[in-house]
Structure 1
Amino acid sequence: MKTGGRPHASIAADLREGWTRVSESAGTPAEPPQEPRRRRPWLRRTALGAAVAVLAAAGTGWALYQQLEGNIRTDRDTARELEQHSADRPAAVVHDALNILLIGSDSRGGGNGAYGRDTGTQRSDTTILLHLSADRESATAVSIPRDLMVDIPACTQPDGTRSEARFAQFNWAFEFAGAGCTIRTVEEFTGVRVDHHMILDFSGFKNVVDAVGGVEVCLEEPVDDPEAQVTLPAGQQTLHGEDALGYVRARYSIGDGSDTERMARQQEFLGSLVRKVQSDGVLLNPGRLYDLLDSVTSSITTDPGLASLQDLYDLATSMREMPSSGVRFLTVPRQPYQNNPNRDELVQPAASQLFEALLHDRPVTVEPRAEEAHQNEQEGPGSGSASGSGTMGTESGAPPSGTPEAERDEGQPGYRGTTAETGACV
């Protein structure tokens, strides 16, 4: 992956430079003196101490590097699936722009047994297509509803068998055929090439939140959700790992119980997380950056193109100057599926306009959605309330979720959403 970072060889150069600086500060000249016979004992001891310190620091740094590098799990099965179908994949259009598919897995395996019985499968509880602009001045995170009805290509399943192409819920791809099938599905209905992917499970999400010291949220009402295992008071508060996970998972106990509202809440939470990282200078503080990298590398499964510490570090540091107002969150334009109001379908041409903007690295404008919960019409459980009437856009006159609401400069539409600048407590 090309992110503008320095090659691994620069680490050795930095160590050599550090040795020179420490040696000079300790009084050890780079060139031997003309009369070295009467060197003072204290100077020798100081120089020796400095040398030991440098060597220890170099050894410790290398050990930490190796530890972080060893944390990362490489998803080679997905790489093979994508390579097998490379001829069918869309081409990248804008050099240096990146599209990363973020997949939140609801797997109960590993350390996630507390959240339910391990069935041996996993679903994409949350899926976000993250577009990073070529100049790294902006990022657009597009949530994809799990109940969106899409064309899923024939894919290789974990047992080696081949599934048939089908028209089904988006969630089917990850549950039965893994990340490779999910990526190919996204590429098929968006036309956007996915450059990288990351899979994060429940435990990983908690670790990342804790690594940044918690994330601030504002609750208009108390939350008591036994299924999500979370109880929270109303008001402004900082959520840490377990409570943060319960908050973004909770559905029926908050607001109208819709997946639409839950996705909006997840986006607001991620906005607050981004703002926390930026405002606290995490990316500029080596110690705190290490904690974050340790949590991330211990928690993710990713493609070979991101499966090194250097790649992840370069990716993170390439975004450290990105303004919070440039980090945008929205949901793919969709409405209740015509044959089943409990499912979703894409709204056209709004969806195609959004995907074209991402493909060509054009800016995407988001509209405030403070009143969205009140403006939205009744939806089915797939993305809306439990009433299941599926009359989105008919009772209140509001457009389907994610539909462009206003034309912007140069004909670019605006979409309902939020930014990291807005966050959850603004």
Structure 2
Amino acid sequence: MLVGKAGKRGRRSSIWRGVPRWARICTVFGTVLTMLSGAVLVGTEVLMARYEGAVGKADLFGDQSAGAAQPRKSDIKGPLNILLVGIDPRTPTAVPLADSIMVLHVPADMDRAYLFSLPRDLVVDIPEFTPANFDGRTDKLNAAMSHGSRIPGENPNAARGFELLATTVQNVTGIKRFDAGAIINFTGFQKIVDAMGGVDMYVERDVKSEHKKPDGTARPGNPGGEGYIGPQAVYPKGNHHLSGWQALDYVRQRYPKNGVPDADYGRQRHQQQFVKAMVGQAFSADVVANPLKLDKVLRAAGQSLIFSGRGHSVVDFGIALKNIRPDTIQMVKLAGGPIYNGSRYKGEQFQPGVTDFFTALHNEQLDPFLLEHPEFVNKSK
């Protein structure tokens, strides 16, 4: 966690005086947690209203079309399950694919959280979805968002795609209902990190970029071949202070040839580490005690997020999750392995034991489960 200069603590702006801690610090939904990554909402009602106004809203779960009743503002109680989906949209007419699928589970006490990723190539049964005239099929998990987004006569609708993805994830995990959800634009993360002044991350092994040159520009494609050519950005093992493009580039890498031997599972781990690093940076004095920087962070986060609290606002959730801090977020890895049809790669499947993890989640027994099964714990370093 970065620490602001000592002198800044004594010169905190007068706008913070008299503002209670719960109103100064809240989790930026998506835990931009990414998420989407938990961050902070500091400030007066003006800042809170500005952030709330900047966040995109959508009916991510189909509640409005189903005529669901609106909840009371004070009834956010644990346990909670929150679906966070990262996308990397190319054009308004391109169907969205879920590049990152994470679930944040908050136990009944709401003083800690568990963050786990689902492999985007997980082979699943995607149910039928009438709004998109989709009949259902067996496919990779990230395709659910694509299938659900294809609304006849319209540009692809990411919110509708999220609805089908959420239903599919519920079927896979046994989670009966998500309490909130967010779509995070990965490109927007770069703006958030830059607004915070960068992010501190530990790079666990030497990694080379598949996509970027050392100066951050794109590597050109290889004419007549696969992949990219030219010099590569390099992230040596050790502690680094990464700019926005560097952080985003690092967490995208997933090929063994580039230094990620466990492929997409390694990328999931790096994304979770990135989320936790952003949480720490957002709570640092350098951001919390700097109204101008904080305002930039909030605006960048709002512009990168589409949120549904199923009747609750992002600020409501921020206040409800006020006790969660970086050291109370447990990152979880769900082991899987490839499926082949002969030599042809078909996707991923969970290894035995993951079903037991989901059972422990439903029974609020994750702490004893992880003590008994340390192989499910994803380390920060």
TM-score range, shorter chain: 0.5 to 0.7
Partner Cα distance (2:311, 2:293) in 1: 21
Q: 1:210 to 1:306 in 2, by over 3 A?
A: farther
Look up the match of 1:145.
119
Residue matched to 1:187: 170
After TM superposition, the structure 1 = structure 2 runs for residues 255-270 of structure 1, keeping only pairs within 5 Å, are 255-256=260-261, 258-270=263-275
323, 326, 329: which one pairs with 1:324?
326
1:169-248 correspondence to structure 2 within 5 Å: 169-177=140-148, 178-192=161-175, 193-219=177-203, 220-221=205-206, 223-226=208-211, 229=218, 231-234=233-236, 235-248=238-251
Secondary structure, counterpart of 1:128 in structure 2? strand
Question: Equivalent residues in 2 for 1:51-90 (5 A)?
Answer: 64=47, 66-76=49-59, 78-80=60-62, 84=66
Equivalent residues of 1:364, 1:413 under 8 A apart: no
Q: Any unmatched runs of 5+ in structure 1?
A: 1-14, 19-59, 87-93, 111-118, 366-406
SS at the partner of 1:109? coil
AA aligned to 1:107 is P
Corresponding residue number in structure 1 for 2:134: 163
What value does the CA root-mean-square deviation take over the aligned residues?
A: 3.4
Instruction: Please point out which of 101, 120, 125 is paired with 2:94.
Output: 120
Check 1:329–1:64 CA distance in 2 against 1; reply closer, same or farther (3 A cut).
closer
Going from structure 1 to structure 2, the CA distance change for 1:82 and 1:408 (only over 3 Å counts) comes to same
- Following TM superposition, by how much is the alpha carbon of 1:194 offset from its aligned partner in structure 2, in angstroms? 1.1
Query: How far did 1:61 drift?
Result: 6.4
Higher RCO, Cα 8 Å, sep 6+: 2
Higher Rg: 1
CA deviations on 1:135-157 (whole Å, 9 max, x unpaired) are: 2221111101110011111114x
| Separation (CA, whole Å) in 2 of partners of 1:278 and 1:66 | 20
Mapped contact 2:210–2:253 kept (Cα < 8 A): yes
Cα 1:85/1:250, change in 2 over 3 Å? farther
Return the alpha-carbon distance in structure 2 between the equivalents of residues 134 and 288 of structure 1.
33
> How far apart are residue 286 of structure 1 and its match?
6.0
Structure 1 residues 202 and 162: alpha-carbon distance in aligned structure 2, compared to 1, 3 A threshold: same
Give the one of 70, 82, 87 matched to 1:105: 87
**Partner AA of 1:203 in structure 2:** T
Label 1:161 to 1:143 Cα distance change in 2 as closer, same or farther (>3 A): closer
Q: Are the equivalent residues in 2 in contact too, given 1:75–1:304 (CA < 8 A)?
A: no
* Local SS of the residue matching 1:305: coil
Identity, in percent, stands at: 26
Q: Which of 106, 109, 121 is the matching residue for 1:132? A: 106
Return the offset for 1:205: 1.4
> Per-residue deviation at 1:351?
1.9
Closer/same/farther in 2, CA of residues 206 and 408 from structure 1, 3 Å limit: closer
User: Conserved in 1, the CA contact under 8 Å of 2:337 and 2:350?
Assistant: yes
Which amino acid counterpart does residue 195 of structure 1 have in structure 2? D
Provide the rounded CA distance (Å) in 1 between the counterparts of 2:286 and 2:107.
22
Is 2:333 the counterpart of 1:351? no
Q: Which runs of 5+ in 2 are unaligned?
A: 1-14, 19-42, 69-75, 149-160, 219-231
The structural deviation recorded for 1:62 is 6.6
Question: Secondary structure at 2:378's aligned position in 1?
Answer: strand
Name 1:363's counterpart in structure 2: 366
Corresponding letter in the other structure for 2:198: G
**Counterparts of 2:62 and 2:326 in 1: how far apart (Å)?**
36
- What is the letter of the counterpart of residue 81 of structure 2? N
Letter of the structure 1 residue corresponding to residue 141 of structure 2: F
**Residue of structure 2 equivalent to 1:292:** 297
Deviation for aligned residue 1:126: 0.5
Shift of the 284–413 alpha-carbon distance from structure 1 to 2, 3 Å rule, reads: farther
CA offset digits 1:174-211 (Å, max 9, x no partner)? 12211000000011111112111100112221122223
Partner SS, residue 325 of structure 1: helix
**Is the contact made by 1:99 and 1:131 (CA closer than 8 Å) also made in structure 2?**
yes
Amino acid aligned to 2:373: P
Alignment of 1:10-49 (within 5 A): none
Q: Does 1:312 align with 2:314?
A: yes
The change in CA–CA distance for 1:97 and 1:408 in structure 2 (over 3 A counts) is closer
> Which of the pair is proportionally richer in helix?
1
Q: Partner letter of residue 82 of structure 2?
A: I
Residues 210 and 359 (structure 1), Cα distance of their counterparts in 2 relative to 1, 3 Å cut? farther
Q: Which is further off, 259-268 or 289-298?
A: 289-298
CA shift in 2, pair 1:137/1:174, >3 Å:
same
Return the TM-score normalized by structure 1: 0.61
Once residues 317 and 363 of structure 2 are traced to their aligned partners in structure 1, the CA distance between those partners, rounded to angstroms, is 20
TM-score (norm 2): 0.68
Give the match's secondary structure for 1:361.
coil
